[in-house]
């Protein structure tokens, strides 16, 4: 059973899709309950997997490697390390909460909506556990279809524009990634005489020249940068967030953006270490621009949802900057901040959605003084806001502190610029909160607002608990990711001496982590040994 746990977690929502197909569309309550139950069972399976995961082990765990299309070297190959484990947990926790958040707001094509939600979960989990490049690409593309429909069918007034823009941006990057994958396939076939899409075999065996790495890194990085999204590829994100239904925004911000950062960690850094060093200053500069630009644009937004959307551009810049500090603190901070951003920003979108269900407006000027009529809502909104700006004892502080520690250790100037993003974040989030929650009630409609009901409490309380758990005691999460983070750094450290010398001004960015990473290699079966 242990060897099949990943298959269960990945494809159990698909069983829900099949069952929903046989439920008459008129039985809306049955459809909702069935979708919720299937997503909750998937979450419980992921908790079971978390309990079985060995935090001290190097390499991939729960490895499943079965031939699929042998003539092309395509295998059904799944496995996870501490990084992918945490992202799978984030996915399986947010999905049932998003489904529960849709209980009253979705009134048309209900059956199709919940089928799309479960299919989306399959695609997201599949990306995080695929160790075969072909499977990785398939899951990456599968995710596009349900998200397109979630935005295009159940979104706002400009939903068609936002959905098409989302697909076009993502497809452009995906096609470049496909070209790079095919190039790697044929290069490996020249080298070994056999076709293989196996990430671990390619990582351990395929020698790539400097120019090859540059082109391949560029193709993969563009696909991932669009998904993150990094400046200047971010323009699809605000449209998609604003027009998507609440649950779509939660999944989009909470999980889909992390597929881009995960791609950098899983593929770009270990497979193309020389190119990582070469592109490092460009990535860092674009990340810094994203941090400051996203914060400044968020500050002038009149729509609360649009403000949260632009805050994601700033926060994802932080994650990318920590990752390319290329030290233990920065990379660990980057991974934990992926989880934190999913929790905090997901909660913000849920809170905005709950307010929209009551007032059917998201304009900041239409609110004010609602703390008087919605005290519990206001208290939870304050906790999530403080988490988003990184207040100590909340999850956001842990991630931002580790990232800034890693960045300052690598480049002081970058650290100073990044810190300005923290200050700007506090400015626009607290200003928004003050205008929405405090002051006098100037709109008669706000006097009749009702506080959170039991369903909304059930959605928000788990996220609040996670905010404080990670903020007060992040050790279980850091322990599980540390071996994987050290392995990624060990792979990057193998970059050629010549390339390192050419990047002399950036040598400080490549300091060896304080804890020396163990070098781990993989055999053909995907097992690891020192």
How many CA atoms, within 13 angstroms, populate the side-chain half-sphere of residue 143?
29
More confident residue, 519 or 91: 91
pLDDT at 259 over 60: yes
Tokens standing for 519? Answer: 């070098």
Q: CA torsion 270→273→279→284, rounded to 10°? A: 60
Do residues 169 and 260 touch, judged by C-beta distance below 8 A? no
Share of the chain above pLDDT 90, in %: 55
Q: What is the mean pLDDT of residues 469-485?
A: 92
Pairwise CA distance, residues 378 & 346, whole Å: 16
94 preceded by a cis bond (ω within 30 of 0): no
Q: How confident is the model at residue 2 (pLDDT cuts 50, 70, 90)?
A: low
Q: What is the DSSP letter of 159?
A: H
pLDDT score recorded for residue 115: 93
E strand or H helix at 66, and its extent? strand 61-69
Query: What phi and psi, each to the nearest 5 degrees, are found at residue 492?
Result: -65, -35
Q: Distance of alpha carbon 430 from its chain centroid, rounded?
A: 24
E strand or H helix at 46, and its extent? helix 28-52
Share of the chain above pLDDT 70, in %: 92
More confident residue, 496 or 56: 56
pLDDT at 80 over 50: yes
Please identify which residue in the block is written with the tokens 């690409």: 137
β-pair partners for 66: 76
pLDDT at 9 over 90: yes
pLDDT at 328 over 60: yes
Work out whether the CA dihedral 111, 112, 117, 121 comes out positive or negative.
positive
Q: CA torsion 14→17→18→23, rounded to 10°? A: 160
The predicted-structure confidence for 267-294, as pLDDT tens digits, reads as follows: 999 989 889 999 999 999 999 999 999 9
Query: What phi and psi, each to the nearest 5 degrees, are found at residue 300?
Result: -105, 10
pLDDT score recorded for residue 349: 93
pLDDT score recorded for residue 3: 67
Q: How confident is the model at residue 472 (pLDDT cuts 50, 70, 90)?
A: very high
E strand or H helix at 491, and its extent? helix 475-492
Q: How confident is the model at residue 495 (pLDDT cuts 50, 70, 90)?
A: low
Do residues 369 and 438 touch, judged by C-beta distance below 8 A? yes
pLDDT at 507 over 70: no
232 preceded by a cis bond (ω within 30 of 0): yes
Burial (Cβ within 10 Å: 0-12, 13-18, ≥19) of residue 232:
exposed
pLDDT score recorded for residue 518: 42
What's the whole-number average pLDDT of the chain?
A: 87
pLDDT at 506 over 50: no
């Amino acid at each position: 059973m242990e060897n099949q746990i990943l298959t269960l977690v990945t494809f159990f929502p698909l069983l829900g899709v099949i069952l929903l197909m046989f439920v008459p569309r008129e039985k809306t309550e049955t459809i909702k309950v069935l979708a919720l139950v299937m997503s909750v069972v998937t979450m419980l399976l992921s908790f079971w997997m978390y309990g079985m995961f060995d935090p001290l082990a190097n390499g991939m765990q729960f490895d499943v490697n079965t031939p699929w299309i042998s003539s092309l070297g395509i295998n059904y190959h799944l496995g996870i390390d501490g990084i992918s484990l945490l992202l799978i947990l984030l996915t399986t926790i947010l999905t049932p909460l998003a489904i529960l958040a849709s209980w009253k707001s979705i009134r048309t094509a209900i059956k199709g909506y919940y089928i799309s939600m479960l299919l989306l979960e399959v695609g997201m989990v599949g990306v995080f556990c695929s160790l075969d490049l072909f499977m990785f690409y398939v899951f990456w593309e599968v995710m596009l279809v349900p998200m397109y429909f979630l935005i295009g069918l159940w979104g706002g007034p400009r939903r068609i524009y936002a959905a098409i823009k989302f697909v076009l941006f993502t497809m452009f990057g995906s096609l470049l990634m496909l070209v790079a994958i095919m190039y790697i396939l044929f290069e490996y076939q020249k080298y070994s005489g056999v076709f293989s899409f196996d990430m671990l075999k390619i990582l351990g065996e395929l020698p790539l020249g400097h120019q090859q790495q540059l082109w391949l890194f560029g193709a993969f990085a563009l696909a991932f940068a669009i998904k993150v999204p990094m400046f200047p590829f971010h323009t699809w994100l605000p449209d998609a967030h604003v027009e998507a239904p609440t649950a779509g925004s939660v999944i989009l911000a909470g999980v889909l953006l992390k597929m881009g950062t995960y791609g950098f960690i899983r593929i770009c850094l270990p497979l193309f270490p020389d190119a990582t060093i070469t592109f490092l200053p460009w990535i860092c500069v674009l990340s810094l621009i994203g941090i400051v630009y996203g914060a400044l644009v968020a500050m002038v937004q009149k729509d609360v949802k649009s403000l949260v959307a632009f805050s994601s551009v700033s926060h994802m810049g932080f994650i990318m900057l920590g990752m390319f500090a290329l030290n233990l603190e920065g990379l660990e901070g980057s991974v934990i901040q992926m989880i934190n951003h999913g929790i905090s920003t997901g909660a913000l979108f849920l809170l905005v959605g709950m307010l929209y269900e009551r007032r059917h407006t998201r304009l900041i000027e239409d609110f004010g003084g609602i703390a008087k009529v919605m005290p519990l809502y206001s208290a939870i909104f304050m906790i999530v806001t403080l988490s988003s700006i990184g207040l100590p004892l909340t999850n956001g502080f842990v991630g931002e502190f580790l990232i800034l520690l890693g960045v300052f250790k690598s480049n002081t100037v970058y650290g100073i610029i990044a810190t300005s993003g923290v200050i700007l974040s506090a400015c626009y989030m607290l200003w928004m909160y003050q205008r929405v929650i405090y002051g006098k009630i100037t709109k008669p409609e706000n006097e009749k607002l009702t506080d959170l009901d039991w369903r909304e409490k059930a959605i928000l309380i788990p996220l609040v608990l996670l905010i404080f758990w990670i903020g007060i005691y992040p050790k279980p999460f850091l322990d599980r990711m540390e071996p994987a983070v050290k392995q990624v750094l060990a792979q990057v450290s193998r970059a050629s001496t010549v390339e390192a010398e050419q990047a002399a001004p950036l040598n400080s960015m490549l300091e060896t982590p304080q804890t020396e990473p163990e070098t781990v290699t993989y055999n053909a079966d995907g097992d690891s040994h020192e």
